[in-house]
């Protein structure tokens, strides 16, 4: 499987538009190579460098999507819950809200991992799932995964 964005290249800086210093909208994503036996896809965006890349203490969850259709596809920039495919739904991020919460690192340059999972099942019981709940539900059901990493460091002094 592969996961890409028209907004940034793998390992490159995520444009400000997709962060707390910009419009704080989700970046466009597209994927391909989904296994034919997949029943659904799940997306998790995390920052393993929180709060400080020099001394990380937690993995911060920025975005969760559950039960995306199991086919090659894409999401537009700034996708809202209403724009998601019918079966898909957002999960709870660590900002304590559903949907996307963009990069907003307190210090230093952080890495943001967008990971797409192909699953051999759907997860209809998960409503407003946290990352821990989603990871537990996915255990033993992952057929494949793709990852896209971007970086970001705040431009403005807070």
> Per the domain annotation, does 87 fall within a domain?
yes
> Per the domain annotation, does 107 fall within a domain?
yes
Q: What is the pLDDT of residue 6?
A: 97
CATH at residue 96: 3.90.280.10
- pLDDT tens digits along 45-65: 999 999 999 999 999 999 999
Q: What is the pLDDT of residue 3?
A: 98
- Mean pLDDT, range 109-131, rounded to an integer: 96
- Mean pLDDT, range 74-89, rounded to an integer: 94
> Per the domain annotation, does 157 fall within a domain?
no
> Per the domain annotation, does 143 fall within a domain?
yes
> Per the domain annotation, does 57 fall within a domain?
yes
> Per the domain annotation, does 158 fall within a domain?
no
Mean of the per-residue pLDDT values for the chain?
96
Measure the CA angle with vertex 69, ends 18 and 19; round to 5°: 5
> Per the domain annotation, does 111 fall within a domain?
yes
Please count the structural domains in the chain. 1
**86 or 22, which is more confident?**
22
pTM given for the model: 0.95
Q: What is the pLDDT of residue 156?
A: 67
Q: Assign 155 a pLDDT band (cuts: 50, 70, 90).
A: confident
Domain that holds residue 115: 2-43+51-152
Q: What is the pLDDT of residue 157?
A: 55
- Mean pLDDT, range 122-132, rounded to an integer: 94
């Amino acid at each position: 499987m592969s996961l890409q964005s028209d907004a940034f290249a793998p390992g490159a800086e995520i444009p400000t538009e997709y962060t707390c210093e910009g419009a704080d909208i989700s970046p466009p994503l597209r994927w391909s190579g989904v296994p034919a036996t997949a029943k659904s896809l799940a997306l998790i965006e995390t920052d393993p460098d929180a709060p400080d890349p020099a001394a990380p203490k937690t993995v911060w969850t920025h975005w969760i999507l559950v039960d995306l259709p199991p086919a090659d596809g894409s999401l537009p920039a700034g996708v809202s819950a209403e724009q998601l495919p019918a079966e898909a739904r957002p999960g709870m991020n660590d900002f304590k809200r559903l949907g996307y919460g963009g990069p907003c690192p307190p210090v230093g340059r952080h890495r943001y991992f967008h990971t797409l999972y192909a699953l051999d099942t759907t997860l209809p019981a998960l409503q407003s799932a946290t990352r821990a709940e989603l990871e537990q539900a996915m255990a033993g059901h992952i057929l494949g995964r793709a990852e896209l990493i971007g970086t970001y460091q705040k431009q403005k002094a807070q």
